[in-house]
Amino acid sequence: MLVATDIHRHFEGMHAVDGVSIEVAPGKITGLIGPNGAGKSTFMAVIAGTLPTSSGTIVFDGKDITRLPAYRRARLGLVRTFQLPSEFARLTVLENLLVAAQHNRGDSLFGALMGKRYWIEDERKLVQQARALLKRFGMSAKESDYAGTMSGGQKRLIEIMRALMLQPRLLLLDEPMSGVHPKIVQEIQYYLQDLRHEGLTILMVEHELHMVERLCDTVVVMAQGKVIGSGTMSSLRKQQEIVDAYLVG
């Protein structure tokens, strides 16, 4: 589904991503692991299109998207989550979902207001879609609460629902469970497995190796901007240089 070839991303001489090639198979959860500073988040941003690549090519579903901006990639079904920006803390949970979809159309607020009749019709469908997601994620009762009042774990769920509003085919998640209460970690695990079961493809950075083992079909290991190994978690555990570089403990 996704083929990234020889991706480089430099920051003023700093080789954050230094020639990474990966393939993401459809319908699978691919994990991306590695020590802090390995370049995982930078790589995810390059794939999402929120950071331009210094060199390399990205092909999504057979289409070269290397030069496409993030919103065009999202329209093709390649979507990443974002931390909830603070300005959305004072919107309700439901509004947060609606705004995410609205942004994706590339509409300015002005444009949205100008085309109000069209927009209202459209919004009705979006509200339905948002409520279905809230129900699925056990958040219906929170729809009118301000997002800013949610727990860390609930904010993570909002991020994921916001991404799902864009109806992705490939979802990019960067540490979706970090700083989340164990009970919600468990929930997020089930939701992700459920989404995969429905055919969603996921590429995720995750720190916690037991979670990676449970969730990911294939795992790619990065260190110092490079891929140092890939395969199933159990096959990686047998490779000494990977264990030495990263899997110690």
Among 18, 22, 39, 81, binds ligand ADP (CB under 6 A): 39
Among 38, 58, 209, 220, binds ligand ADP (CB under 6 A): 38
Q: Which is nearer to Mg ion, 84 or 93 (CB)?
A: 84
Q: CB 14 → ligand ADP: shortest distance, Å?
A: 5
Q: Can you tell me the distance from the alpha carbon of 43 to that of 131, in angstroms, rounded to the nearest whole number?
A: 33
Among 34, 49, 176, 229, binds ligand ADP (CB under 6 A): 34
Q: Which is nearer to Mg ion, 80 or 142 (CB)?
A: 80
Q: Which is nearer to ligand ADP, 26 or 37 (CB)?
A: 37
Other residues' Cβ atoms within 10 Å of the Cβ of residue 121: 10
User: Is the Cβ–Cβ distance between 89 and 146 less than 8 Å?
Assistant: yes
Q: Can you tell me the distance from the alpha carbon of 38 to that of 29, in angstroms, rounded to the nearest whole number?
A: 20
Mutual angle of helices 93-104 and 152-164, in 10-degree steps: 30
Among 1, 4, 22, 40, binds ligand ADP (CB under 6 A): 40
The gap between the terminal CA atoms of the chain, to the nearest Å, is 33
Which of 11-19, 84-92, 165-173, 196-204 is the region at the interface with ligand ADP (rule: CB under 6 A)?
Answer: 11-19
- Within positions 41 to 80, which residues make up the interface with Mg ion, using CB under 5 A? 41
Q: CB 92 → ligand ADP: shortest distance, Å?
A: 31
Q: Residue 118 binds what, of Mg ion, ligand ADP, none (CB under 5 to 8 Å, by partner type)?
A: none
Which of 38-46, 69-77, 84-92, 96-104 is the region at the interface with ligand ADP (rule: CB under 6 A)?
Answer: 38-46
Long-range contacts at 194-201 (CB < 8 A, ≥ 24 apart)? 195/164, 195/171, 196/27, 196/28, 196/29, 199/26, 199/27, 200/27, 200/168, 200/169, 200/170, 200/171, 201/1, 201/2, 201/24, 201/25, 201/26, 201/27, 201/28, 201/29, 201/30, 201/169, 201/170, 201/171
- Within positions 41 to 80, which residues make up the interface with ligand ADP, using CB under 6 A? 41-42
Question: Phi and psi for 229 in degrees, rounded to 5?
Answer: 175, 160
Closest by CA to 1, choosing from 234, 209, 199, 246, is 199
Binding mask 16-45 for Mg ion (x = CB under 5 A): -------------------------x----
Q: Which is nearer to ligand ADP, 42 or 201 (CB)?
A: 42
11 binds ligand ADP (CB under 6 A): yes
Binding residues (CB under 6 A) for ligand ADP: these are 11, 14, 16, 34, 36-42
Binding residues (CB under 5 A) for Mg ion: these are 41
